[in-house]
């Protein structure tokens, strides 16, 4: 390794550690095992290029730019605590590297234990799979994506970082039964509904953590006389992810808010409620509920998947406020 590459590696390491210190200062990475993963897995290997907003639209920053200043800008951006747009198709974002602090919180919320197996829905750049493989070992981790270009690049990035979990090309909505059963499923794309296929691939007591309706739903998979079901509440954290592509039709990402007061229509928690209940409540009905329940926080809402049905609810799965979700 020459002097220039030595300096580049040193700059990358220092930037990585600074990012981790900032995430810790924000209250995440309390688990030493996850702190070690973020300390040691080099994010820049997973984002050899990404797009930023320029004066004439999306502008690419990449690791081999002949301009040293732009290479330095690329490296600095790779270790900012923000999401990075990594793939744009016909003007639409189809893949990204998620905000590291949000990734850290999601991984810690899973409460992963040694010896467990994890399925990741949405391979992205491979960075999240690398963090999981650092924590559990390559053999315990499976990541799946519909796009063969995404899975191929994820494999390359993972290999460059010395990690070799199973990377599969396929419809994430159908899971990956040949590698199951799983103790944890983590989803890195927004869901319109919870695919029933995932439940059959989970061990009893498994957890499923997924972006849903601008929030994060934590489902606990359980067995009962009538069969396997999943139920859980939303976390406090807001979350905005690229939609899941595949067998499950997408939900409307920007529900209609016409006629509502601006202060309500732009309220982040109200938009969560509106997105969650959009198949059942119109905006006025959602506003009435919102006011009656005194602006309920995300943690009061939950989702149940049982007997081929699924529904969202407020406070109680069997209570008066329940809204059917579309079948997968």
- Please check whether residue 286 is in contact with residue 273, taking contact to mean a CB–CB distance below 8 angstroms: yes
- Please check whether residue 239 is in contact with residue 228, taking contact to mean a CB–CB distance below 8 angstroms: no
| Residue showing tokens 């993963």 | 37
Closest CA to 145 of 161, 163, 129, 164: 129
Q: How many CA atoms are closer than 13 Å to the CA of 96, on its beta-carbon side?
A: 21
**Cα–Cα distance for residue pair 204/154, rounded to 1 Å:** 30
Biggest alpha carbon–alpha carbon distance for the chain: 68
Q: Which residues contact 262 (CB under 8 A, 6 or more apart)?
A: none
Strand partners, 166: 142
Pairing between β-strand 182-187 and β-strand 202-212 as defined by DSSP bridges: parallel
Q: What's the Cα-to-Cα distance from 149 to each of 115, 213, 257, rounded to whole Å?
A: 31, 27, 37
Phi, psi of 152 (to 5 degrees): -65, -45
Question: Which of 95, 96, 101, 153 is an active site residue?
Answer: 95
Is 96 among the catalytic positions? no
**Cα–Cα distance for residue pair 311/324, rounded to 1 Å:** 4
Alpha carbon of residue 121 to chain centroid: 9
Q: State in Å, rounded, how far the first CA of the chain is from the last one.
A: 51
Residues recognised as catalytic: 95
């Amino acid at each position: 390794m020459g002097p220039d590459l030595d300096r580049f590696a040193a700059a990358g390491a220092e930037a990585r550690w600074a990012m981790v210190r900032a995430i810790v200062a924000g209250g995440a990475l309390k688990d030493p095992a996850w702190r070690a993963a973020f300390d040691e897995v080099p994010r820049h290997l997973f984002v050899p290029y990404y797009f930023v907003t320029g004066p004439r639209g999306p502008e690419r920053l990449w690791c081999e730019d002949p301009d040293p200043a732009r290479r330095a800008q690329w490296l600095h951006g790779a270790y900012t605590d923000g999401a990075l747009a990594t793939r744009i198709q016909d003007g639409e974002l189809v893949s990204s590297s998620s905000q590291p602090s949000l990734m850290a919180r999601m991984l810690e919320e899973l409460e992963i234990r040694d010896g467990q197996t994890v399925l990741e829905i949405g391979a992205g750049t491979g960075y999240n799979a690398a963090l999981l493989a650092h924590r559990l070992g390559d053999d315990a981790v499976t990541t799946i994506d519909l796009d063969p270009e995404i899975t191929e690049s994820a494999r390359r990035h993972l290999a460059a970082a010395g990690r070799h979990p199973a990377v599969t090309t396929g419809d994430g909505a159908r899971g990956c039964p040949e590698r199951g059963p799983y103790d944890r499923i983590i989803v890195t794309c927004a869901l319109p509904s919870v695919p029933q296929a995932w439940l059959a691939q989970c061990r009893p007591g498994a957890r499923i953590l997924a972006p849903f309706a601008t929030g994060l739903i934590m489902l606990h998979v359980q067995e009962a006389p009538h069969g396997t079901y999943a139920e859980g509440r939303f976390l406090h954290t807001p979350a905005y992810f690229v939609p899941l592509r595949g067998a499950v039709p997408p939900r409307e990402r920007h529900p209609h808010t016409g006629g509502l007061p601006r202060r309500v229509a732009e309220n982040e928690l109200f938009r969560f409620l509106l997105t969650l209940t959009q198949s059942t409540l119109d905006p006025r009905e959602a506003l009435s509920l919102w006011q009656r329940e005194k602006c309920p926080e995300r943690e009061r809402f939950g989702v149940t998947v049982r007997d081929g049905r699924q529904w969202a609810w407020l406070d109680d799965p069997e209570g008066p406020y329940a809204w059917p979700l579309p079948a997968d």
